[in-house]
Amino acid sequence: MSTATPDPKLPQHVAIIMDGNGRWAQQRGLPRVAGHRAGTENIRGIVKACAELNIPYLTLFAFSTENWQRPSLEVEGLMFILSEFIDRETQELHRQGVHLRHLGSLIGVSDALRRKIEHALDVTRDNRRLTLAIAFNYGGRADLVQAVQAIVAQGIAPEQITEQMIADHLSTAHMPDPDLIIRTSGEMRISNFLIWETAYAEYWTTPTYWPDFTADHFEQAIQEYSQRERRFGRVSPPA
């Protein structure tokens, strides 16, 4: 992460709902899993664009707690593709100074995949150029439930509970709240993504399906974000 004062017009944290892989594949007469593969191939270029713009935090929504309800063939395909992604990309991400984080739970994930994820997190833990958080087996409500459970388990008195304490027990602890949420494929919903953290986030959507989303689209989103006025409930933006 750069030690320079952050540019207030530049988001510090961009989070992307990578949506539309299935429709991208259907449009081409391919199985949905082919769309997930193409979508995963697309990640490299967006990470690079983010690092080049000096945006220090990028979160990608890869698999939700609700996505387990998809056909088992698709779920198995997604697990396999993620496993391949880790094998193929970890060293390169490490070389680029990317610190990998995982948001969500590894409960219910196969032992082999869990070990792979833990290894990738460990290898990249000291990198500081860009934090890349992968929301995998992630649901905003499930994350809030585990945070509340952790707080209660510590025997904290009700009057001691603060917003900061809740934030500190979420998967996103020690990351700034996302400034900008990008959703591809034209859907206009949050789908249980970062429901606490997006309280004051800006939204940007595009009808483009995720496998076709390019660095140019990403830069357009950042450019439009930089024109917006964020007020956080005030009359004018905070100084």
Residues that bind ligand IPE (CB under 6 A): 17-23, 61-64, 67, 78, 185, 187, 189, 191
Alpha helices in the chain (DSSP H): 21-27, 32-41, 43-52, 72-95, 111-123, 140-153, 163-169, 215-227
| Nearest residue to 178 (alpha-carbon basis) of 204, 154, 157, 215 | 204
Residue 114 interaction partner, one of ligand IPE, Mg ion, none, beta carbon < 5-8 Å per kind: none
67 is annotated as an active-site residue: yes
Residue 78 interaction partner, one of Mg ion, ligand IPE, none, beta carbon < 5-8 Å per kind: ligand IPE
For ligand IPE, give the closer residue by CB, 27 or 160. Answer: 27
The separation between the first and the last C-alpha atoms of the chain, rounded to the nearest angstrom, is 23
Cβ proximity of 106 and 137 under 8 Å: yes
User: Of all residues in this chain, which one has the CB nearest to Mg ion in the complex?
Assistant: 19
As given in the structure block, the two tokens for residue 130 are 């860009």
Residue 5 CB, nearest distance to Mg ion (Å)? 38
**Does 89 contact Mg ion by CB under 5 A?**
no
Total H helices, total E strands in the chain: 8, 6
Q: Determine which one of 54, 67, 168, 192 is catalytic.
A: 67
Q: Position 149: which residue type?
A: Q
**Does 19 contact Mg ion by CB under 5 A?**
yes
42 is annotated as an active-site residue: no
Residue 61 interaction partner, one of Mg ion, ligand IPE, none, beta carbon < 5-8 Å per kind: ligand IPE
What is the set of active-site residues? 19, 67
